[in-house]
Structure formats: structure tokens, C-alpha cells
Amino acid sequence: GIQVEQSPPDLILQEGANSTLRCNFSDSVNNLQWFHQNPWGQLINLFYIPSGTKQNGRLSATTVATERYSLLYISSSQTTDSGVYFCAVGDRSNDYKLSFGAGTTVTVRA
């Protein structure tokens, strides 16, 4: 299956700081999603972004499919941004099933 590597594994931010999370994947993909898992364990989809750039409020994501990576940007971070961010990828040869990375744990301090 497709291998997914996320970096950094841990990130500590001061409130108001900006950050970039990276997701590298080992093969071409047709399905790429970013998720946020809050400290209570709930998983929320942030973006469906197999290519291109999208923005949603203070979050944005860019996927460069030809170079097999995706970036998630957090601007003006808030304490509510704390949690684990997962990148997950899939491709049509595998029924688009998602393979998850190990995640980046983000802690935003007030």
C-alpha cells in the first residue's frame, strides 16, 4: 500500500504563531484528506485535496501531486487548534481506501 509520512511528529506553538505541517506519500494518489483529531478524540475532516490549493478560514492546504506531498498551513494559531492532524491518502487502484499517516501532534499554548 501507499506509505504516508508526516512531519514534524510534534509541534508546540505560542498562540498567534503560524505553522506548516507536511505529508509525503510514496505513490500517486487520487484521494487525499486532512483530518483534525481534537483532545477528546473526535475526528473532523478539514480538506479533501488530492491536488491544488484550498483555504478554510485560518487553515489552508496545498497538494503537489507530481511531487507527492501536501502541506497544511495553520495561521494565527489558537488553543482550539490543539490536537493531532492526520493526512490520509488513497488511489483508484485500491478503491480509494484511505491510508493514514501517524499524525502531527500540535499543542498551542496561551
Stretch that binds another protein, among 15-23, 28-36, 56-64, 70-78 (CB under 8 A): 28-36
Interface with another protein includes 102 (CB under 8 A)?
yes
- Total interface residues for another protein by CB under 8 A: 25
DSSP string, 45-59: EEEE-SSEEEEETTE
What is the CB neighbour count within 10 angstroms for residue 90?
20
The residue type at 40:
W
Q: Choose the stretch contacting another protein; rule: CB under 8 A; options: 19-27, 62-70, 72-80, 100-108.
A: 100-108
Report the alpha-carbon distance of residue 18 to residue 60 in Å, rounded.
11
Cis check for the bond before 9: say yes or no (omega within 30 of 0).
no
Q: Is residue 12 part of the contact set for another protein (CB under 8 A)?
A: no
Interface contacts to another protein, rule CB under 8 A: 1, 4, 30-31, 33, 35, 41-45, 48, 86, 88, 90, 92, 95-103
